[in-house]
Amino acid sequence: MARKSRRDGTESDLAKKRRARRINRLLAAAHPDAHCELDYGNPLELAVATILSAQCTDVRVNLTTPALFAKYRDAGDYAEANPEDVEEIIRPTGFYRNKARSIIGLGKALVADHDGRLPEDMDALVKLPGIGRKTANVIRGNAFGVPGITVDTHMIRITNRLGLTDGKDPVKLEFQLQRLIEPREWTMFSHRIIFHGRRVCIARKPACGACTLAPLCPSFGEGPTDPAEAAKLLKGDNVEELIRLAAAAGGGRDGLGEPAVGA
Ligand code: SF4
């Protein structure tokens, strides 16, 4: 009954909130080291790294930023930068002309309007070049300790699969999730979902049979449900622990002993 309501959209708001918070607790156990995977030393570096991460892996960004951060140390340096010099350094991250324009524009705006420092305020952040709500939430959550839900492609895909959100509009999803998850958990919930998306609930083929969330997920069965087959899809350095937690969670069966949706 509970799984049917998750699947057909008749789950009550209270049931969905309880399920979302249970999902968050299970993710905390599965990914205790979840964190922002971009390297940075201050709010400005995080903002620049996040701009560079568009359509690019965090690993590649982290290979690129040391040279950039060594040459441009504050907003004034970016404001006065030669675009071609910046483009040359950030070229490996793709879309480098647009990204260079955003980064230099960010430096100029910070110097002109904010004494060279990044503001904490959401309304002020989203007015800056290259910064939308996603980037603003990353900056607020990680550099300033202000809780925020980061809606990227992992968050959209996984919360859709989990039946916690519907649609693809990042702003709508952010507000849908804000109603489900405790505010103090928003930032870590975002990191955990992104970790889960990179290691378990992979876009192309989710590892459903090795997923600790299987008993709570209406999309169980979108990927292989056989534990051994699913385990081969897991990524990261704590695969053994992910397999153990998935088995302990019920191996795709809910607490009532009923087969999960799609099983
Ligand atoms: S059960 Fe499958 S679809 Fe659902 S969260 Fe886990 S890996 Fe993703």
Helix axes 170-178, 133-143, angle to 10 degrees: 40
- CATH superfamily, domain 43-143, is Hypothetical protein; domain 2 (1.10.340.30)
pTM: 0.89
On whether 208 is known to bind a ligand per the annotation, the reply is yes
pLDDT score for 250: 77
**Domains of the chain by residue range:** 2-30+151-249, 43-143
CB-ligand 1 contact for 214 (6 Å cutoff): yes
Query: What CATH architecture applies to the domain 2-30+151-249?
Result: Orthogonal Bundle (1.10)
Neighbours of 236 (CB within 10 A): 13
Do 2-30+151-249 and 43-143 share a fold?
no
Cα(256) to centroid(ligand 1), Å: 19
User: What does the alpha-carbon distance between residue 49 and residue 119 come to, in Å, rounded to a whole number?
Assistant: 17
Candidate list 39, 134, 169, 237, residue with the active-site label: 134
Q: For residue 161, which atom of ligand 1 is closest to its CA?
A: 3
Beta carbon of 218 within 6 Å of any ligand 1 atom: no
Q: Which amino acid is at 216?
A: L
**Residue 81 structure tokens:** 């930068």
Given a contact cutoff of 8 angstroms between Cβ atoms, the answer to whether 224 and 210 are in contact is no
The pick from 162, 165, 205, 245 for probing ligand 1's pocket by mutation, whose C-beta has the most ligand atoms within 8 angstroms, reads 162
pLDDT at 260: 38
134 is catalytic: yes
Give the pair of three-digit tokens for residue 189.
Answer: 């919930």
Q: From the alpha carbon of 206, which atom of ligand 1 is closest? A: 7
Question: Which residues lie across from 253 on neighbouring strands?
Answer: 259
The reported pLDDT for the residue numbered 25 is 98
Which amino acid makes up residue 209? G
Residues ≥6 apart with Cβ < 8 Å to 185: 24, 147
Q: Is 201 annotated as a binding residue?
A: yes
Give the separation between CA 120 and CA 27, rounded to whole angstroms.
28
259 secondary structure, DSSP code: B
Is there a catalytic annotation at residue 152? Answer: yes
Mean pLDDT by runs of 10 across the 263 residues of the chain is 67 96 98 96 97 95 98 98 98 98 98 97 96 95 96 96 96 97 97 97 97 97 96 95 93 42 33
The residue type of 46 is L
The structure tokens listed for 200 are: 């378990």
For residue 257, the model assigns a pLDDT of 35
Q: What is the pLDDT of residue 259?
A: 36
Is 212's C-beta closer than 6 angstroms to any atom of ligand 1?
no
Q: How far is CA 60 from CA 63, 88, 140, 156, in A?
A: 5, 15, 23, 22
Single out the residue of 141, 116, 118 nearest to residue 130, CA to CA: 118
> Around Cβ 257, how many Cβ atoms within 10 Å?
7
Interior angle at CA 153, CA 136 and CA 190, nearest 5: 55
Instruction: Give, for ligand 1, the residue of 19, 220, 242 to mutate: max count of ligand atoms closer than 8 Å to Cβ.
Output: 220
Q: Which of 16, 99, 108, 152 is catalytic?
A: 152
Handedness of CA 75, 77, 79, 81 (dihedral sign): negative
